[in-house]
């Protein structure tokens, strides 16, 4: 039997970080006289790269040194706000343990900077269980482009059709589908109707079993 893999996005999938990203972006944009609504954040922030977010809300491309400085400012605010409240989505640690006991390859593939991933991995201790770890610095084309998921499959030594991705955003689900992978939609920030069609949906990890994953992969 060929190797099988499960790949996790981070924000909204391993941890419900989006409310804290919203807080950080609010502080960031308020300094610049901007006040995005919750609806705007839901549509143009969750699952998007910082390059896209800054371009959308500032109304112009932000590149080079200016982008680096702005990203560091905003992500520093996020880590400050979130550091003392890091908490996994219910059932994630046990689900990851179960996957490893059943010989699944596992990886994390996030659009967030590596420093954010390091903060969360450090608090939750799952780095040792991930055979592929990719953050925004590791790709040139961000979600919905499939690059981060195709690179993950390569790192894990599996074919894209043998991967199941856990994603919570429109762009993230699209990236997984564009990579030719199966997708479990995590409804932490969006409803089923707000996501592209997924192979299964969960609110917490109590809503998924090994049989679900095996059935999804069997229909590849």
Burial class (CB in 10 A: 0-12, 13-18, 19+), 78: buried
The residue assigned the tokens 């690179």 is: 151
Q: What distance in Å separates the CA atoms of residue 214 and residue 6, rounded to the nearest whole number?
A: 11
CB 127 within 8 A of CB 114: no
**What CA–CA distance (Å, rounded) separates 211 from 209?**
5
CA dist list (Å): 23 to 10, 47, 74, 183: 18, 16, 10, 28
CA 61 and chain centroid, separation: 23
| Catalytic one of 9, 11, 168, 199 | 9
Asked about 9 being catalytic, the answer comes back as: yes
Residues marked as catalytic: 9
């Amino acid at each position: 039997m060929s190797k099988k893999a499960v790949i996790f996005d981070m924000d909204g999938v391993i941890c419900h970080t989006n409310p804290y990203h919203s807080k950080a972006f609010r502080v960031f944009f308020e300094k610049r006289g901007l006040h995005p609504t919750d609806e705007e954040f839901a549509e143009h922030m969750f699952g998007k790269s910082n390059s896209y977010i800054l371009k959308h809300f500032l109304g112009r491309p932000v590149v080079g040194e200016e982008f680096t400085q702005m990203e560091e400012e905003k992500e520093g605010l996020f880590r400050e706000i979130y550091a003392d409240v890091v908490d996994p989505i219910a059932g994630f640690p046990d689900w990851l343990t179960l996957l490893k006991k059943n010989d699944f390859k596992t990886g994390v593939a996030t659009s967030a900077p590596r420093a954010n991933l390091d903060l969360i991995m450090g608090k939750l201790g799952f780095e040792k269980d991930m055979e592929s770890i990719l953050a925004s610095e590791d790709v040139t084309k961000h979600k919905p482009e499939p690059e981060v998921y195709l690179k993950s499959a390569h790192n894990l030594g599996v074919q894209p059709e043998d991967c199941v991705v856990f994603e919570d955003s429109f762009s993230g689900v699209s990236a997984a589908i564009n990579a030719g992978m199966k997708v479990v939609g995590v409804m932490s920030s969006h409803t089923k109707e707000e996501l592209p069609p997924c192979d299964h949906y969960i609110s917490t990890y109590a809503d998924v079993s090994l049989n679900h994953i095996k059935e999804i992969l069997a229909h590849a």
